[in-house]
Amino acid sequence: MDSNRRKRRIGILTGGGDAPGLNAVIRAVVHTAMNEFNVEVLGLRNGFDGLVEPEDMIVLSHSEVRGILSHGGTILGAANRGNPFSRKTIVNNKEVISDMSEQALDNIEKLQLDSIIVVGGDGTLTISKALYDKGAPIVGVPKTIDNDMGGTDVTFGFDTAMRTAAEALDKLHTTAESHSRAMILELMGRNAGWIALGAGIASGADSILIPEIPFDLTPVINRFEERAANGSNFNIMSVAEGSRPKGGKQQYKDDAGLYSGRLGGIGQTIADELRVDSGIDSRCTVLGHLQRGGSPTPYDRWLATLYGAGATRLAMAGAYGMMVNLQGREIGSISLSDAVAQTPKLVNPDGDLITAARGLGIVFGDE
């Protein structure tokens, strides 16, 4: 064996919003790379920022990933504003947008990275595909609590977010029943209703509103009145942040109450309309970033671990431009190009989940 031969090296970064299971992916990449292939792993901090400016990188070994399997967040940090193709820089005391993709490619060579595993959602993996098209040796891992990434049956982080949402709905049951109220829980998901639908079914919600099915509040009000007539004078509603009324638009609202590019506020709007139009005492709770936090469920740890191991094997096989995925119960792969093209993956309004929910008596506001 040539003692002067350079040891192979894999880079890994986590982009976009955090999701439970990111650390499980990192751990699996390190263990698989070191145990199966005797390869070094370099952690790049804060998403693609760590590739454009890699001063704060870290060599990852068994000791660095010890004990992180059950931890939420990411030890590498994450950033959803680090697009190297459109990066904010300061030139002559002015903020300008610059294309730093060539610098990112140069750093791949300088860092002697044979491949890079990028863990992220649609935005991060769209950037990954563009970097791959320019020659970057990238393998993708799908991550989003929204479960809307195309090319895979499930993304890790979704199961934990759905559990958190379902537990919140369970807690709202008691206060709703005590005060004879309609309790509305606004949930994340962007343009997809997976979290609201899954949590709503799991917690026995009376109404579920999702972006894929524009709603009218009349069926919701009718449902409340039917339950009241049968002695159940309360209502539980699971509402996706991207839900919109029939003929209306999605609602955008930031933390300061100003309209922006961030979905939110539809839950309170519904509560206000129910109170004004029908006299139903209504309250809205926005679960927010609690859906991203906490320890990942065993399922998310399992899935993230399999994704990390699978991505490492793809990287070592030179299968660049691919994304690891779940197909049924098997780990497979799909091209980043196809995965991005299939995004967003939305709830089928005529699919089995909606059909089952309707059979349970759940109202979607379109009846």
Instruction: Summarize pLDDT for 123-135 with one digit per residue, the tens.
Output: 999 999 999 999 9
Q: How far is 232 from 205, CA to CA, in rounded Å? A: 13
Domain count, the chain: 2
Query: What's the mean pLDDT in 4-25?
Result: 93
Task: Look up the CATH number of the domain holding residue 54.
Answer: 3.40.50.450
The verdict on 198 and 249 lying in the same domain is: yes
pLDDT, tens digit, 9 for 90 and up, residues 268-321: 999 999 999 899 999 999 999 999 999 999 999 999 999 999 999 999 999 999
Q: Is the pLDDT of residue 3 over 80?
A: no
Same-domain status, 90 and 15: yes
Task: Tell me the backbone φ, ψ of residue 88, rounded to 5 degrees.
Answer: -75, 125
Does some domain include residue 361?
no
**Catalytic residue check, 2:** no
Q: How many Cα atoms occupy the beta-carbon half-sphere of 288 within 13 Å?
A: 8
Tens of pLDDT, residues 228-241: 999 898 999 999 99
The torsion angle over the Cα atoms of residues 45, 49, 53 and 55, rounded to 10 degrees, is: -10
Q: Can you give the residue range of the structural domain that contains 187?
A: 161-292
Is 348 a domain residue? no
- Note the pTM of the prediction, 2 decimals: 0.94
Does residue 179 share a domain with residue 139?
A: no
Claim to verify: residue 118 and residue 38 sit in the same structural domain: yes
Same domain, 279 and 178: yes
**Per-residue pLDDT at 56:** 86
Mean pLDDT, to the nearest integer, of 36-55?
Answer: 95
Indicate whether 259 pLDDT > 60. Answer: no
Q: Per residue in 164-211, pLDDT tens? A: 999 999 999 999 999 999 999 999 999 999 999 999 999 999 999 999
Give the integer Cα–Cα distance in Å for 192 and 9: 37
Shared domain for 38 and 110, answered yes or no, is yes
Angle between helices 22-37 and 298-316 (to 10 degrees): 40
Query: Which pLDDT score is estimated for 256?
Result: 45
**The one catalytic residue among 18, 122, 146, 148:** 146
Q: What is the mean pLDDT of residues 86-114?
A: 91
Q: Are residues 109 and 207 in the same domain?
A: no
